[in-house]
Structure 1
Amino acid sequence: MTITETPRASGSPTAAGSAPVEQRWTPRLWGVLGVLCAVLFLDGLDVSMVGVALPSIGTELGLSTTSLQWIVNGYVLGYGGLLLLGGRTADLLGRRRVFLIALAVFAVASLIGGLVDNGPLLIVTRFVKGLAAAFTAPTALSILTTTFHEGPARNRALSVFSVFGASGYSSGLILGGLLTSFGWRWTFLTPVPLAILALVAGLALIPKDKPADGGGHDLVGAVTLTAGMLLAVYTVVSAPERGWLDPLTIGSILLAVALLAAFLITENRVRHPLIRLGILRIGSIVRANLSVVALFGSYLSFQFMMTLYLQDVLRWSPLKMALALLPAGLIVAFGSPFVGRLIDRYGTSRLILASMASLSLGYVWFIATAGNTPHYAFTVLPTMLLLGGGFAFGFSSIMAQATEGIDDSEQGLASGLVQTSGQVGAALVLAAVTALVAGGTHGGGDFGQFHAGVNLVTAVAVVGLALNVVPLLRRRREPALASS
């Protein structure tokens, strides 16, 4: 069963040497995109709603601040640690099957999380939801990139896809504040019916696909990669509390490095590797993965600091804080649909460069104008608009660049790789920012404790900017040298 109207060569919208073939968007094609967008929306909705509800959860279940952080970090641990395995599993076992099973697990974990009265069990459900998202996220992206032809159709689909991710996060901030007033459990229970509807629609609309040919099972690679990634993410999220020089932290870092080294050795020796390391020789893919570290790492870390600053220092309510950050999400939601056309016209490299420039300018503006009592219209709003524009330009462009020219049999691998880079990169930057903020100066209305964190976030964005400036300058120089 197929949902596309025109044939194409694997990994390419056209056969070699032929003109691009326009893909007709049928109702079924729109339906598949709708299911994929709904799941991405749920991911963003869940993360932001739970973040707003944390104080209420801690009060009712008697959880300390240390325990509360694991409601967030448990999700990150499962998500970041298993993303690569999730993407490759979809290639080997079938995207539709993996996507639907993971979505069902997500729904069940959400239901249990809304009913439990035990803190540790709640944290376990968050880990399971992160694990499920580690399979739905790369699988949804690989279904999208194999369903829509590379070029205008795929760029347009990625733009729509990005809108729902931003809309889920933005609406989750507001919805989380409203639902928490009725009880924190509603922030866990609300995604359940939405996930069930997406599951039913996915069963009806997503076409069956065959696993990749010749996909032997690399058990040693799967075990060493999963264990290494889980341990690495666990170390990153726990080190700020325990200390980077603590013997347990150093030991877990060394063990994670040893496991990942064992994985690399295994992948070079087995007949059917879990990850074909040759994919990392493609310059555009490496740049896309480094760019998403700069994008996610700086953007999410800055939002984390703004949440603390606006609530703890300026004493804003959760709802007022959510409304203050909302413009960035609205820019992404309303701007992303146009990014596909811009990619067609200007290419991914220029848009990623524009993204990094907008992010860098936003952080610099905040540092220059914030002070101890920043004016919303002069400081916070312009910053949010610049960050929203940077994320809108960057997300779709990076995802398109990370999967360009990749064969259909490795789309899950490429999708999982770029999303892993984003999640693990964000965890690394956030851990460093958290350590800097915790070690800063304190005091009512004092911005000093956040200054070092914002400086680090700015540096991360500037590195991303430099990373994308160099290739464009090199391309411009090459024609000039050739003509001379």
Structure 2
Amino acid sequence: MSATQMETTPATRLSRTITLAVILGCQLMMVLDTSIVTTALPHLERELGFNSTTLSWVQNSYALAFGGLLLLGARVGDLLGRRRVFMVGVGVFTLASLLAGVAFNAEVMIGARILQGAASAFAIPATLALLVQTFPEPGERSQAISIYSAVIGAGGSVGIIVGGVFTDLLSWRWGLLINVPIGIVVLLLSPRFLPETGRVKGSVDIPGALTVTAGMSALVYGLVNAGEAGWGNLTTIVSLAAAVLLLLAFVLVERHAERPITPLRLFKDMTRSGAYIIRILIVGAMFSTFYFLSQYLQNVLGFSAFAAGIAYIPLTLLFFLMVYVIKPLSALLGKPALLVASLVIAGLGMLWLSSIGPDTAYFPDVLLPLIVLGIGQGTAIILLTEFGMSGVAPADNGAASGLVNTAHQLGGSIGLALLTVVFAGSGGTAEGTAGAEAYGAVFTSATWFYTLAVPCAALIYLAQRRAAGNASASRP
């Protein structure tokens, strides 16, 4: 029996399906934890003694640790073996979720969230690298990446749905404690079904690790602080200036490092670099939908946490539905052209959503824009994940996976910081219908994120056309 036949046996297909389920289970629980507490924030404020200033750090502490350590986590996975690092990350995340779920004061909750974010930074870069290794055949790999991308894209809205249901029907604590049984199942299945990767010879690039971790942390902290205190705040200015200097130092270090933590050659390809930039932009726009629309539904339209969560179901379903239609659409239009079209569609959906006001009805003025957004954003995220890993050598899978997830996390932090400033500057308030038009201003600003993403996608389209032309010319 040939190697190809061996790869397509029922036992092999079942094993790969379970492998994909394990990877997706980890990815989903870690991504949805960025938003699962959104609908529960008022309850946390009352029960754990938060005030209006410290409450935002329930989310920000997770984002800070996650974003700051992602590239380091990717490199450690390459050095020590991705399955090993994945399992350690899942184990720590599971314990941190248990701690967060039983937290009895604000300090314990924030500490647990920092630990969750750090664990995610080491586990998540390994997931995409393991997936690419598990599915070597291009067709199967493309389908697996599509499902993986849908989970990433839908994770935020799934978190709001799950958080809203648990908050209203049981307790906000179950939104965090649900990670414990999921984590245990993932840990039990991992040794049997996840492939272990060989260790890359070398050591951690210490100067690169220190500069990128400190730089990313300073960047996320500065953006978070800008959302709270404004861009003119001294802490914001110092943090962002430090981030620029540290990240410039990181680039200089990586240019001369023997085994860099993030090979700069990954940025030489126009398709990959464009995919990272577009991802930052559109994830930043979509975070406004997760964060501000949830508040709008509860504070302006009077939805309960449960109802606000249910309101996101159409958006979430479309993220997953696009997995099944992207293959025929790609065959019809080509992936670069489909990316341009999907960004235009998503931008139109966001523009439509910007028309909301104090008297807006959920149907049709919220539901229909969400459907348009789900079609465009769901398609774009799938394509961007594939483009972000295109042409990457096996030795660089971990680093490329780390960059995809770093772009995703940075996009959320940048978008939320910028749009929080827009919300406050437009007269937005935390409660009641006063300043309800500020939500429309937020979504209008988010529309510009898609507007900027479209020309970047056009450059990817031109680069792909040029590469295809060169390939045709080089054939005998």
Does TM, normalized by the shorter one, top 0.5? yes
Letter of the structure 2 residue corresponding to residue 463 of structure 1 = L
Q: 1:366·1:380 contact (CA, 8 Å) conserved in 2?
A: yes
Q: Which of residues 170, 173, 177 in structure 2 aligns to 1:185?
A: 173
Structure 1 match to 2:199: 211
The answer for unaligned runs of 5 or more in structure 2 is: none
SS where residue 407 of structure 2 aligns? Answer: helix
2:322 equivalent among 327, 335, 342:
335
Residue in structure 2 matched with residue 413 of structure 1 by the alignment: 399
Question: How do 1:311-390 and structure 2 match up within 5 A?
Answer: 311-340=298-327, 342-343=329-330, 346-367=333-354, 369-390=355-376
Instruction: State yes or no: 1:234 paired with 2:221.
Output: yes
Distance 1:299 1:332 in 2: 12
The structure 2 residue matched to 1:196, chosen from 165, 177, 184, is 184
> Is 2:271–2:460's contact at 8 Å kept on the other side of the alignment?
no
Please tell me whether residue 453 in structure 1 is matched to residue 466 in structure 2: no
The partner residue of 2:87 within 100, 106, 110 is 100
Specify whether residues 5 and 235 from structure 1 end up closer, same or farther in structure 2 by C-alpha distance, changes over 3 A only: farther
**Residue type of the alignment partner of 1:208:** E
What is the aligned partner in structure 2 of residue 31 from structure 1? 18
Alpha-carbon contact 2:426-2:435 (below 8 Å) kept: no
Specify the alignment match of 1:399 in structure 2.
Answer: 385
State the one-letter code of the partner of 2:196: K
**In the alignment, which residue of structure 2 is the partner of 1:462?**
451
Deviation track 1:276-335 (CA, whole Å, cap 9, x = no partner) reads: 112111111011101111221111123222112221222221122222222110111232
Mapped partners of 2:297, 2:116: distance in 1: 29
Distance in 1 separating the partners of 2:309 and 2:363: 15
TM-score normalised by structure 2 residue count:
0.91
**Matched residue of 1:49: which SS?**
coil
5+ residue gaps, structure 1: 8-20
Q: Name 2:106's counterpart in structure 1.
A: 119
CA distance in 2, matches of 1:293, 1:76: 14
Does the 8 Å contact 1:75/1:127 carry over to 2?
yes
Distance of aligned partners of 1:177 and 1:247 in 2 relative to their CA distance in 1, 3 Å threshold = closer
Q: Once the 2 structures are TM-superposed, how far is the Cα of residue 356 of structure 1 from its aligned partner?
A: 0.6
- Structure 1 residues 271 and 165, CA, compared in 2 at 3 Å: closer, same or farther? closer
User: Per-residue displacement from partner, 1:78-114 (whole Å, max 9, x unpaired)?
Assistant: 1111111112221122111110000000001011111
**Which of 59, 67, 91 is matched with 1:80 structurally?**
67
Distance 1:217 1:174, change over 3 A: closer
Give CA-to-partner distance per residue, 1:118-143, whole Å, 9 cap, x none.
Answer: 21121011011111111221110110
Q: Quick one: distance in 2 between partners of 1:294 and 1:246?
A: 24
Deviation at 1:265, TM superposition (A): 1.3
User: Any runs of at least 4 consecutive aligned residues in structure 1 with deviations exceeding 6 A, and if so which?
Assistant: 21-24, 474-480
1:290 maps to 277
RMSD over aligned CA atoms reads 2.7
- Counterpart of 2:263 (choices 262, 272, 276) is 276
Percent of aligned positions that are identical: 33
Q: Is the 8 A contact 2:85 2:126 kept in 1?
A: yes
- Check 1:78–1:343 CA distance in 2 against 1; reply closer, same or farther (3 A cut): farther
TM-fit CA distance, 1:200: 0.6
Q: Are the equivalent residues in 1 in contact too, given 2:145–2:382 (CA < 8 A)?
A: yes
Structure 2 CA distance for aligned equivalents of residues 22 and 396 of structure 1: 25
Alpha-carbon distance in structure 2 between the residues aligned to 1:402 and 1:82: 19
CA distance in 1, matches of 2:399, 2:366: 38
Counterpart code for 1:373: D
Match of 1:65, SS state, is: coil
1:157 to 144, 163, 180: 144
Instruction: Describe the superposition over 1:220-241 as per-residue Cα deviations: whole angstroms up to 9, x where unpaired.
Output: 1111111111111111111222
Amino acid across the alignment from 1:435: V
Deviations 1:174-231 (A, max 9, x none): 332232232222222111011011111012211222112x433211111111111111
Q: In structure 2, do the counterparts of structure 1 residues 454 and 175 end up closer, same or farther at CA, with 3 Å as the change threshold?
A: closer
TM superposition shift of 1:266: 1.0
Deviation at 1:36, TM superposition (A): 0.2
User: Distance in 1 between the 2:331 and 2:79 partners?
Assistant: 31
Question: Structure 1: which amino acid aligns with 2:187?
Answer: L
Q: Structure 1 residues 267-276 or 173-182, which shifts more?
A: 173-182
Number of aligned residue pairs: 466
CA-to-aligned-CA distance 1:384-435 (integer Å, 9 cap, x gap) = 1011111221112111111111111101111111211121122112101001
Match of 1:472 among 456, 461, 474: 461
Q: Give the distance between the partners of 1:112 and 1:478, measured in 2 at CA.
A: 51
